[in-house]
Amino acid sequence: MTTATRADRRAAICEAVFELLGEVGYDRMTMDAVAARARASKATIYRGWPSKPELVMEAIEHRFGGSMEPPDTGSLRGDLLAQLGAVCAAAEGADGAVFTGLLTAATHNAELAECLFRCAYSTKHSMYEAMLRRAELRGEVAPGTTAELLHEVLHAMVTSRRMWQNGPLDRAFVERLIDGVLIPMLTRS
C-alpha cells in the first residue's frame, strides 16, 4: 500500500468515526461499526488504534489539526477575538455537538478523558502561551502571565454555553467574554 493510499485510508476511517459519533454517540460507536462505515477490515482498525479513545483522538486531530499557530492581529483583544471566534464557529456546528457528546462520555471514561485533554488542551496550549508572550512584549499583560487560566476559562465558558444551549456563540458572546472576563482577568494587577 502506498503512502498516499494509507493516508487516504486513515482519512476515511477518521471521517467514519465523526459520522458515527454524530449519529450514535461515543458509547454506542464500535470499532466494528467504524470498520464497516470506512470499508476497512477490522484488523486494519485494531492494528492502527489500540483503543476506541485513541481512534477518536486521531479523528479529532484529523478534523481540527494538532497544534496551531495563534492569530497575530497586533493586539491581545484582536488575537482573542480571532481565536475565540474560530472556537465558537466550530462549537456552534455539528462538530461542536460531537465534541460536547465526547466531553459527556469522558466523565465516566478516564482513557477518553486523557485523550481529549491531550488533543483539546495540551496540543493547543502553546498557542495561548505564544499569544500571551506577544501581548507581554507589547506591554498588554504583566511579565510572566501564563495561559493556564485563560485556556481553562475560555473553553469552560464556550463548553457550558454550548451544553446548556443558553444562547448563540456569536460575536456578542465573544466580545462579552473577552471584554468582561478574559481581558480583566489577564490584566489585573
Tell which wins on pLDDT, 155 or 184. 184
> Which pLDDT value is given to residue 94?
83
> Which pLDDT value is given to residue 153?
92
Grid cell listed for 48? 492502527
Round to whole Å and give the CA distance between 77 and 178.
7
Residue 4 has pLDDT above 90, yes or no: no
Give the residue extent of every domain in the chain: 3-62, 66-187
> Which pLDDT value is given to residue 166?
75
> Which pLDDT value is given to residue 1?
59
Q: Which CATH architecture has domain 3-62?
A: Orthogonal Bundle (1.10)
CA angle 77, 148, 101 (to 5 degrees): 95
pLDDT in tens, 83-139: 999 889 988 888 888 888 898 999 999 988 988 888 878 888 889 999 999 999 999
Residue 3 has pLDDT above 80, yes or no: no
Which residue shows C-alpha cell 489500540?
50
Q: Confidence class of residue 23 from pLDDT cuts 50, 70 and 90?
A: very high
Domain 66-187 is classified in which CATH homologous superfamily? Answer: Tetracycline Repressor, domain 2 (1.10.357.10)
Chain mean pLDDT for the chain: 89
Q: Confidence class of residue 78 from pLDDT cuts 50, 70 and 90?
A: very high
Round to whole Å and give the CA distance between 34 and 41.
10
